[in-house]
Amino acid sequence: MTTTILLIRHGQTEYNATGRWQGHLDVPLNETGKTQAKALAQRLKNWPVAAVYSSDLTRAAMTAVYLSETWGLTPTYDPAWRERDVGVFEGRDAEELKREYPEVWANMRHGIYDIPGSESHEVLQSRAVAAYERVVAAYPAEMVAVVSHGGTLNTVVSHILGIPKGQYGRLNFRGNTGLTIIEINDRGPRLTMINDTRHLENGDYRD
């Protein structure tokens, strides 16, 4: 008996395209993001997905709608799947943050996210892993799609792989509409795919 969880990052936004941090800012998909979501929906249209869960932030919710329509499903929106609240970084780009918060920026290279006013790694991982475990428990032996965000998916997969908190950032979830697959059976969870964007190979849609 195997439960399959499809972890999906949302499509591109203008903030992604211009290198701005989003966090809890409610930024919609841009036209490229909509095309990316449609491409992923086409790729997965024949997969036996039983349910779709999504962050309630617009960029994830829009992506979830494109996917859900393919399977004739209605998404369930859960704020537990939101991106990390990144405090003073929200809406800012890398260059200005490097200038204003050089120590914080330097620490992030070592997996330490001590952004002023932000959600801690522990809080983010706790809510995201709890959401993941709820989905797994609710759909034994079925396939479920979850649309979320790069930082959130990173903490879930890091938890599954047993990566220590201090090594956050070892994984890369920057590909918009990247597909990550977790299979759970009586031997526990296995990561079988990570941040796969092959559905975008025929277009210039990469983030």
Residue 133 falls in the annotated catalytic set: no
Selected catalytic residue, list 10, 121, 149, 199: 10
Q: Which amino acid is at 147?
A: V
Backbone angles phi, psi at 26, to 5 degrees: -95, 80
Selected catalytic residue, list 24, 69, 83, 122: 83
Residue 10 falls in the annotated catalytic set: yes
Measure the CA–CA gap between 148 and 7, rounded to whole angstroms: 7
DSSP 155: H
Q: How many CB atoms lie within 10 A of CB 109?
A: 8
- Find residue 93's DSSP bridge partners: 20
Chain centroid offset of residue 205 CA? 17
Which of the residues are catalytic? Answer: 10, 83
